[in-house]
Amino acid sequence: MAIENKPVSNDIIFQAIMGSFKKLNPLSMIKNPVMFVVEVGTFITLILSIKPDIFGVSAVGRGYNIAVFLVLLFTVLFANFAEAIAEGRGKAQADTLRKTKSETMAKMRQKDGSYKEVPSTSLRKGDIVRVDTGEIIPSDGEIIEGLASIDESAITGESAPVIKEAGGDFSSVTGGTRVVSDYIIVKIQTDPGESFIDRMISLVEGAARQKTPNEIALTTLLAVLTLVFLVVIMTLVPIAGYLKVTLDVATLIALLVCLIPTTIGGLLSAIGIAGMNRVTQFNVLAMSGKAVEAAGDIDTMILDKTGTITFGNRMASEFIPVTNVLEKEVTLASLKASVKDETPEGRSVVELARKLEVNWDEKEYDGAEIIEFTAETRMSGLNLKDGTEIRKGAVDAIKKYVTAKGGSIPADLEEKANAVAKAGGTPLAVAINDKVYGIIYLKDTVKPGLKERFDELRAMGIKTVMCTGDNPLTAATIAKEAGVDEFIAEAKPEDKIEAIKKEQAEGKLVAMTGDGTNDAPALAQADVGLAMNSGTMAAKEAANMIDLDSDPTKLLSVIAIGKQLLITRGALTTFSISNDIAKYFAIIPALFITAIPQLQFLNVMGLASPKSAILSALIFNAIIIPLLIPVAMKGAKYKAMDANRLLSRNLLIYGLGGVVVPFIGIKIIDMIVSALHLV
């Protein structure tokens, strides 16, 4: 189930418009103190539009009150629309997820050992079911017996099936996936409504979204600022009375709405929901928004080597000839020994030979006897119909094989094999009949593009640490090739926990990936633990994020999303507070310019009239919210760089931009308002 980041559909927009009106319920609005104050002001100006003199003699007409009411109403609706459209995107993703859920029948084991078909919704944690070829796995669970090929395309979008078996690190299965070969006995690990898909649906819909600590802190700050400006507005009334300036209630409300941080107040919830949606689009199930936010603050990443930094399979990287043998000859001999070898190592030998433009005509090995690798012989190869015997395998096994045939062992074979072993690789010797041609250098290959990704993390100030059970020499070789900052060789499970605790003791936030039961303690200890969906249930229960694609490098993308979430929130907060400066220059002179003509020098925008200035600032305040919805939804543009450069960049764009844009916007709106004689 690969969720794409599709454009917002017309249906989502329509539902968001309807949701904007539904969210006008005060019980819903009071959760957002800033916008609740705007809604109260909207209600008061509605009353003034009907009865202008309800609070005493009014110096403004009904038309002005109606204009203020309409602008305030749209301000609230635009803020609700931002949240509703973010929720609409989440619900669209939830609908995609629901397609993976279906009412299936399950064969549940009875007390007498027989199996009875029951609806999947009746299964409970601890029940045992049998799933045969072609059947859908009814719920999340752990394989306790059997081995099968599982089609997980409904969850991951990948068509290639994966092998799952009992007792290993790949024993966990997800409800909604299909068994394509053999059978498995599964112990159900979740009750109805508690599966990973159910939890993801709740999260992306926003039903289970809790505010993160940073979001709560920012909401509190906005509430305090709103209260401060409310007190400021109240003190303006006696000051205006002293100066014999009449301030109408509608004008005071307009001033309050312009001064409080309505922009970020209206977009804050949408930013949080959209951040969760972006994580979901990467097929990552975040257990909470706090986990996503923590990813943005990560200082250290601890990664397994095998399967994370490297492919996990040894792959051919070089063909090394012995004395009196050409490189092309050993390459061809290696190709001949591997053309019928279907293991990952064998396929890599064939691929490397073809990259070096060495090929072998299929007709020459047509009908050949395939010699499979066994633990006893430690060799594999072909016996051709003409009697030619081709072998590859462990160096000592090939030496015995060639010696038995009366051949001689090249003097430099052992030396070249030891050089490969010391470099952290695996040497395989290649022979045809009684002649040794050279060495195949197998090594656990670093995934392409990882070095560049680690460079990006380093630019963000994030340290990378590789954990591996390999010896220090091999670990150092892989670490240098991958570009990680540090490595821990011959690492045991408890060493990972100690490494995490050491970093945390220095005040750092730590992230790690894992898939095995022995990774569970470290995943639980880490601030951000990303478990593989293909891993054990213990690992998934311990982690606070689950990657449905089982791609250990996904953590790099999750960190980028977390940082983008924090940056977006900070950028829009900066913009919101910065654009208040222009409103001061628009409204303050307009309020007192008749009593204090000297304030005219503050009217730097040359606004037409006091009423026009107030209304223009109010209109700008309303329309800036929908204009910033795309930024809230997609996130502020993020580039990997250190915190100081990132802060300077965002202050320049959103700080300076937040000052300049309102001056231009308010002036343009004032010109339109004046030309249309709206006030």
Catalytic residues: 304
Q: Is 515 annotated as a binding residue?
A: yes
Describe the crossing of helices 580-592 and 554-578 by its angle, rounded to 10 degrees: 20
Contacts of 358 (CB under 8 A, 6+ apart): 328, 331, 332, 335
Q: Is 414 annotated as a binding residue?
A: no
* Cα gap 567→554, rounded to integer Å: 20
Residue with tokens 């993020």: 638
3-state DSSP assignment of residue 528: strand
Q: Is 202 annotated as a binding residue?
A: no
Residue 583's alpha-carbon distances to 73, 235, 413, 666, in angstroms, are 19, 19, 81, 8
Q: Is 454 annotated as a binding residue?
A: no
Could you say which DSSP state residue 655 is in?
I
Q: Is 130 annotated as a binding residue?
A: no
* Cα gap 386→37, rounded to integer Å: 91
Q: Is 169 annotated as a binding residue?
A: no
* Cα gap 532→636, rounded to integer Å: 29
CA angle 358, 364, 366 (to 5 degrees): 120
Contact (Cβ atoms closer than 8 angstroms) between residue 225 and residue 156: no
Contact (Cβ atoms closer than 8 angstroms) between residue 303 and residue 513: yes
Q: Are strands 141-151 and 178-188 parallel, antiparallel or unpaired?
A: antiparallel
Q: Is 376 annotated as a binding residue?
A: yes
* Cα gap 586→613, rounded to integer Å: 6
C-alpha dihedral (137, 140, 142, 144), degrees to nearest 10: -40
How many CB atoms within 10 Å of residue 236?
18
* Cα gap 599→582, rounded to integer Å: 15
C-alpha R_g of the chain: 34
Q: Is 300 annotated as a binding residue?
A: no
Phi, psi (5° rounding) for residue 615? Answer: -65, -40
Q: How far is CA 155 from the centre of its chain?
A: 16
For residues 518-533, b (16+ Cβ closer than 10 Å) or e, as one string? bbbbbbbbbbbbbbbb
Beta bridge partners of residue 431, listed in sequence order = 391, 436
DSSP secondary structure letters along 243-298: TT----HHHHHHHHHHHS-HHHHHHHHHHHHHHHHHHHHTTEEES-HHHHHHHTT-
Burial class (CB in 10 A: 0-12, 13-18, 19+), 240: middle
Q: What share of the chain is helix, strand, coil (3-state, %, to 5)?
A: 50, 15, 30
Q: Is 379 annotated as a binding residue?
A: yes
Q: Is 392 annotated as a binding residue?
A: yes
* Cα gap 569→293, rounded to integer Å: 11
Q: Is 378 annotated as a binding residue?
A: yes
Residues making up the binding site for Mg(2+): 515, 519
Residues making up the binding site for ATP: 341, 345, 373-380, 392
Residues making up the binding site: 341, 345, 373-380, 392, 515, 519
